């Protein structure tokens, strides 16, 4: 089984490194070629274009479906590459967080028009999880396709849950993002309260971590809050996008979404203030400023 990965950003880069180590071979492509240097040094092949990266299984680690569509189409896109290489029923894995409804329609269209089998496998665990090969994958797609992907997922994920047909993995990720955003917002507000009364942030976070309020979010973001270093990481802009998808899904199902709406508004303020590219833990700045 030939495998390739497109998108070597903060998550895709370490995922590619683990895939090279676990599978022994991997083709990679990134719009900015320089980002491939690390994984090429580990043994990956740097593809000249998405078409050159066409393989039996192609993993995309891109922000949303428009970016996936971009690498699919055109004379040097994946579809052209699959046709030239005569790959029968290739599998496209969408690791980015996208609209559950759009994912379902996208997967149906790919299979009907091009014979491509799409699987959605959005991930949770952040950059530390990607680096350790310990991501949690929430998967949607045909069971046979998902089972066949087990050896591909093994080097990058410690938890793989198949929720059902296309789009269901994205719906699970939307639920995940509500919890992540809610935890970040609660911790940021608690830190602001502690600051007003002169409590030590380090002491407060240590106390929270030792009790029921402890969480992976706290573990991963602790140093950012202590140093007020919100560069890179999981961007507020992407968090806002994910919350928008969660709101849309809740509205379509008539599900309660009061907290989701509040979180959406908070991250919208953060992005509107010019902090969209900061790590989502930088919501602390927005809450502290009262903007």
Q: Is 57 left (phi over 0), alpha (psi -120 to 50) or beta?
A: beta
Q: β-strand 57-60 against 3-6: which pairing, if any?
A: parallel
CA dist., res. 23 & res. 154, Å (int): 9
The C-alpha torsion from 228 through 229 and 230 to 234, rounded to 10°, is: -120
As a whole number of angstroms, the distance between CA 188 and CA 208 comes to: 13
Distance CA 167, CA 170 (A): 5
221 has catalytic annotation: no
In this structure, the strands spanning 135-140 and 27-29 are: unpaired
- Active-site entry in 95, 104, 117, 173: 173
What residues are annotated to the active site?
173
């Amino acid at each position: 089984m030939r495998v390739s990965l497109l998108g070597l950003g903060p998550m895709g880069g370490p995922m590619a490194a683990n895939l090279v180590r676990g599978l022994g071979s991997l083709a990679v492509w990134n719009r900015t070629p320089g980002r491939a240097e690390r994984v090429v040094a580990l043994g990956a092949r740097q593809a000249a274009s998405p078409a050159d990266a066409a393989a039996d299984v192609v993993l995309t680690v891109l922000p949303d479906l428009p970016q996936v569509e971009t690498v699919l189409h055109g004379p040097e896109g994946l579809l052209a590459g699959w046709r030239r290489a005569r790959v029968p029923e290739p599998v496209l894995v969408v690791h980015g967080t996208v609209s559950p409804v759009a994912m379902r329609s996208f997967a149906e269209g790919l299979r009907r028009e091009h014979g491509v089998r799409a699987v959605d496998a959005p991930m949770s665990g952040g950059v530390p999880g990607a680096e350790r090969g310990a991501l949690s994958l929430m998967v949607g797609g045909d069971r046979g396709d998902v089972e066949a992907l087990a050896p591909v997922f093994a080097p990058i994920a410690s938890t793989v849950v198949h929720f059902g047909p296309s789009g269901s993995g994205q719906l699970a990720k939307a639920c995940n993002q509500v919890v992540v955003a809610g935890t970040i917002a609660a911790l940021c507000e608690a830190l602001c309260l502690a600051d007003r009364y002169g409590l030590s942030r380090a002491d407060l976070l240590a106390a929270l971590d030792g009790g029921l309020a402890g969480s992976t979010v706290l573990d991963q973001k602790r140093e950012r809050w202590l140093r007020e270093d919100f560069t890179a990481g999981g961007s507020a802009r992407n968090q806002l996008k994910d919350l928008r998808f969660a709101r849309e899904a809740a509205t379509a199902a008539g599900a309660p979404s009061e907290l989701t709406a509040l979180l959406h508004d908070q991250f919208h303020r953060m992005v509107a203030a010019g902090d969209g590219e900061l790590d989502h833990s930088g919501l602390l700045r927005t809450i502290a400023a009262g903007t």
